[in-house]
Structure 1
């Protein structure tokens, strides 16, 4: 595994050097991004359900019943607090904003603490298993550092294959994650540093391999929620429009446009806190967390955030890919997401009309719709097809 991650690192560097984002992600539409976002929430919700099932098998009935209350309660409280901005005149504006933006965190902390109150403390709660010393969890290992140079040469070259698979998985995970948290509704102004991010991801992947720990990718579930918490509305001075006729005499009115507070502090603090809490003695704090899947259940709350607008075909495709993740072919599910790109551009136009597709879908990384051009893939040959309803003929326009 160490050599697989080392190979994956130099592959990440190549992707960054040649700025692969610009010539791969330009064909991704909201169709693929929406499916990936929805699939992520479903996967984590399923993991939470499996954790509840294990709790039922291993714990007494009273402990299992409380686990159910805690899991559902975590979700409902998070959803309730997310609406705090509408509680005016209750509390002040700052308090309402804080409750709304930190709804998930507040809910989790609340239901982590409740089992320690009163008679609930006497229940047999399942909690996270944590380390009390800074050492590998595998008892056969004494140090983190892997002696990767002792592997036979033939295995060094064979490990390129799983390294390539890991690279594809991480690259697509990262790219879609970045796209989802910078969609138009957030009004992001500063462009994303995709190449720099991929280079950094390659470096951390190699370090994980050398240290013998699982490689860490971006925190995809938190990405849209993080952007959502940073979103605010400002007056766009460039879009001052006349008042409607029925309001004639009332002067002009301005449009409110979404923006996010584009900064690095909250990202850094989140990463720093993760590093702190995976180290003794702070791991003991994590050991207080019940194992009824509070993190997974909160993904139901994540679905309440408008990450995507799932339509029937997206839901069906998502369910199909989720079914694959339950089989031995699960590691290949990102490849299925990638395949959705040519399916969307070459197949769906034969099922749905051009105007329908133009209404429900658009490019994820650039302005416009695939249906605005007859040839949407240029030299790559992706064809949108269909007749243009507006001019009654075929429309062809170069990219």
Structure 2
């Protein structure tokens, strides 16, 4: 790294982004359909988790921070990022790690008589002040030049950790549907044991119903039925529609069911809540915080800086992956400087700060991506000229269904979708009375969906699945599109590397369960950088590390079964193969009745249009 020149990185980022600022807006207004689909998709992906985090913080902070505050923070920071931010594809919001840090901070503050719940927001504002100055200093001094050190190992491990936290929240929420909250009147009829069980079971139906249908709807483009426009509509707007549908299903009650079943969102009405006025006194409360606690605020501030520096940069990095083929320049330094400003603003307003979030940021870019017309046309020519039986020659060929999804993509790089989704989040604040009609169990299903939606493309997750699959079946991974390292790295090395990542991730996750001390979990995340640079090369060959930790997502075309078996044996991927009689019988038996299938030769047609070599001719 060369000489540090203050503001050099920020200046370069501004110069690059200002050159395309006008196109950021005109490009959005010229791509209305694609923008609207992505806006609706990312709005729900952003708003629903933020509401759920607000519900969680409302319980953990005894109502000091609620969904009104988390939505307000996400709105303000989202609008700022969309209008004056460097990378408009970056989605910002209140995250699960922020909720964890603020919960640890509240647990510390409430037991200190000098702070307590009364002055918690004033003390949290001092935490944000320290955090803002440190983030600004990092941006000014060019700390984002180290972004290349955030390799696939760190990014994918953190991404999977976020997915685990999403699943944890979904499971905890589903379990709590069977329990009594400490903030309710336990004598009400709905909290009797029989009704609690009914509420929990109905909640599971809503949770898994939304999860299953949402997963199916995202794959609507590959359905075999329905016209193309219908499948595209379901793929683009299906998840938001399903949230509404399952919320409507929750009202399908029979008999004298108590009004509180199923349970729904409990956030306060912003138009009637006294919290809406008390948060304006935060700056005045800062003067009442003793000096020793102002100094102590540096500790959680340092944890927030480490977390936000890593999470914000990695979110931007994953939203700008090479496979997205983005044309416009990056803006890491300037966005980090802007993050420092928004953290300060949120702290002074008594709001939990927002930052770049996973998996919403790469989901936003993916929602704006479309297959390049030139690539589709070129593929059509190449395949039809080389293989007359290819899907391209089918009458019902659909590029969105039959074309390889790894072809070059074209992303609508603009600011409109981010601005619109932020404005929709703002509308949620005023529409809180309507949002309280959504069952909480629907949110838990959406959390699980978000976790699953973040897994495709994560090589760490793919290697975990490979590691725990049957050794006799691993060769089947080579029969699909697969990563290059499966050909260049022995399976024992891959397994050892994956186990290291898995153990490290479990340690990061375990720290979050430690009371008070759990605020230190961002340190373990940042330690991945020196571990990757200096520790892993001592245990793995550099060429193997380069393959397993490659920045590019290189994939290989599927292999036929014979070659897949040979390659799997050569790499130590499989120990034998499942060629038993039962396996062969399963291959030839129908799924429904177990009858033996009798494959017939494909009928051939002569130039007169008559069939030859058919089963009837053989008889």
Q: Which residue of 2 aligns with 1:392?
A: none
Quote the offset at 1:36 in angstroms. 0.7
The equivalent position to 1:349 in structure 2, one of 530, 533, 537, is 537
Q: 1:248 to 1:87 in 2, by over 3 A?
A: closer
Partner Cα separation in structure 1 for residue 324 and residue 304 of structure 2: 30
Equivalent position SS for 2:424: helix
Q: Deviations over 1:235-255 (max 9, x none)?
A: 567x979969x9399xxxxx9
Partner Cα separation in structure 2 for residue 17 and residue 144 of structure 1: 30
Q: 1:91 to 1:301 in 2, by over 3 A?
A: farther
Quote the offset at 1:134 in angstroms. 4.0
Q: Deviations over 1:77-114 (max 9, x none)?
A: 11101111112552223x32332234433332322221
CA contact (8 A) 2:346 2:352 kept: yes
Quote the offset at 1:234 in angstroms. 1.0
Structure with greater Cα Rg: 2
Partner Cα separation in structure 2 for residue 47 and residue 264 of structure 1: 31
Partner Cα separation in structure 2 for residue 75 and residue 264 of structure 1: 30
1:261 aligned to 2:412?
A: yes
Quote the offset at 1:355 in angstroms. 3.2
Partner Cα separation in structure 1 for residue 224 and residue 412 of structure 2: 23
Q: Which residue of 2 aligns with 1:129?
A: 266
List alignment gaps of at least 5 residues for structure 1: 250-254, 369-399
CA contact (8 A) 1:4 1:159 kept: yes
CA contact (8 A) 1:37 1:180 kept: no
The equivalent position to 1:101 in structure 2, one of 221, 236, 239, is 236
Equivalent position SS for 2:447: helix
Partner Cα separation in structure 2 for residue 70 and residue 125 of structure 1: 9
Q: Which residue of 2 aligns with 1:247?
A: 386
1:321 aligned to 2:508?
A: yes
Q: 1:210 to 1:3 in 2, by over 3 A?
A: same
Q: For residues 26-105 of structure 1, what are the structure 2 equivalents within 5 Å? A: 26-58=148-180, 60-88=196-224, 90-93=226-229, 95-105=230-240
CA contact (8 A) 2:154 2:528 kept: yes
TM-score (structure 1 length as normaliser): 0.79
Q: How many residues align?
A: 355
Q: 1:53 to 1:176 in 2, by over 3 A?
A: same
1:276 aligned to 2:427?
A: yes
Question: Which stretch shows the higher mean deviation, 256-265 or 313-322?
Answer: 313-322
Partner Cα separation in structure 2 for residue 240 and residue 359 of structure 1: 30
Partner Cα separation in structure 1 for residue 289 and residue 143 of structure 2: 31
1:20 aligned to 2:20?
A: no
Partner Cα separation in structure 1 for residue 351 and residue 271 of structure 2: 13
Partner Cα separation in structure 1 for residue 447 and residue 154 of structure 2: 22
Equivalent position SS for 1:116: coil
Quote the offset at 1:154 in angstroms. 4.6
Quote the offset at 1:37 in angstroms. 0.7
Equivalent position SS for 2:351: coil
TM-score (structure 2 length as normaliser): 0.52
The equivalent position to 2:438 in structure 1, one of 283, 286, 289, is 289
Partner Cα separation in structure 2 for residue 86 and residue 144 of structure 1: 51
**What's the RMSD between the two structures over aligned residues?**
3.2
Q: Deviations over 1:129-183 (max 9, x none)?
A: 12224476669x7353311234344543443333222222212111111112221
Q: Which residue of 2 aligns with 1:378?
A: none
Q: Deviations over 1:228-283 (max 9, x none)?
A: 2112111567x979969x9399xxxxx9412322111111112111122123xx11
Partner Cα separation in structure 1 for residue 416 and residue 301 of structure 2: 32
Equivalent position SS for 1:212: coil
Q: 1:331 to 1:110 in 2, by over 3 A?
A: farther
CA contact (8 A) 1:75 1:297 kept: yes
Equivalent position SS for 1:268: helix
**Whose RCO is larger (CA < 8 A, sep 6+)?**
1
List alignment gaps of at least 5 residues for structure 2: 1-123, 181-190, 389-405, 464-497, 555-619
Equivalent position SS for 1:278: helix
Partner Cα separation in structure 1 for residue 150 and residue 256 of structure 2: 50
The equivalent position to 1:207 in structure 2, one of 333, 341, 345, is 345
Partner Cα separation in structure 2 for residue 156 and residue 136 of structure 1: 29
Q: 1:137 to 1:309 in 2, by over 3 A?
A: farther
Equivalent position SS for 1:145: helix
1:298 aligned to 2:449?
A: yes
Partner Cα separation in structure 1 for residue 340 and residue 312 of structure 2: 11
Quote the offset at 1:307 in angstroms. 4.2
Q: 1:186 to 1:309 in 2, by over 3 A?
A: farther
Equivalent position SS for 1:232: strand
Q: Which residue of 2 aligns with 1:226?
A: 364
